[in-house]
Chain A
Amino acid sequence: QVQLQESGPGLVKPSETLSLTCSVSGGSINSDYWSWIRQPPGKGPELIGYIQESGRANYNPSLKSRVSMSVDTSQNHFSLRLTSVTASDTAVYYCAVYDGHNLDPWGQGTQVIVSS
């Protein structure tokens, strides 16, 4: 089964841009929906959006103005950028894959703290 691994800075300053990458192993990025989810401390998960192999992306309207995603099939990874971060963007960020049926599997998650 495909495995996912998030990577990126664990600390981002307010107003700056959060950038994360999800590396895919055990399979190739294909026509599935390569997704980002975040979970603030003590709260439930929130979908950020997804990107497909073609580069087509769909973002949660709640974050749409600040989010962009990209995919690199040659490197078998996909990425997230979130601009103008504030303390409310502090969360564990997960990548996961949705095959049209299941949002599964997920990466182990990476903690991102927004603080000066």
Chain B
Amino acid sequence: AIQVTQSPSSLSASVGDRVTITCRASQGIRTDLAWYQQKPGKAPKLLISDAVTIQGGVSSRFSGSGSGTDFTLIISSLQPEDFATYYCLQDHIFPWTFGQGTKVEVK
């Protein structure tokens, strides 16, 4: 299975900060990568698909980039509702695999 390594596993940030989360796939996956946000007790929410396509209703402060093996999620100006755990998911090859998650905490 394709391994997806996400970093960092956690970070502390303040409202207004720019936050960067990365995922690295163990082999090339073109742009077959999605980003999810998960809050406690809730299902993951799809933010970005195909590495760069932001979903309807998702704030434009979220952006994604990358292709091949290296991908980035950027939150341009962190807002209070953005404190959550973020996961990437590769759906290039079955079994689709998730990163280990990045918990964004209040500094």
Q: Which residues of A contact B (CB under 8 A)?
A: 43-47, 49, 58, 60-62, 94, 96, 98, 101-109
Secondary structure at the B interface, as helix, strand, loop or mixed, is: loop
How many contacts between A and B, using CB within 8 angstroms? 49
Q: Which residues of B contact A (CB under 8 A)?
A: 1, 34, 42-44, 46, 49-50, 55, 87, 89, 91, 94-101
Q: Among A43, A58, A62, A94, point to the contact of B43 (Cβ < 8 A).
A: A94
Assess the B49–A47 pair: CB atoms within 8 A. Answer: no
Assess the B49–A101 pair: CB atoms within 8 A. Answer: yes
**Which residues of the other chain, A, contact B46 by a CB distance below 8 angstroms?**
102-105
A60 to B46, CA, bound (A): 22
Assess the B43–A106 pair: CB atoms within 8 A. Answer: yes
Interface centre among B34, B43, B50, B87 (most CB of A within 10 A): B43
Assess the B96–A108 pair: CB atoms within 8 A. Answer: no
Assess the A60–B43 pair: CB atoms within 8 A. Answer: no
A30 to B34, CA, bound (A): 23
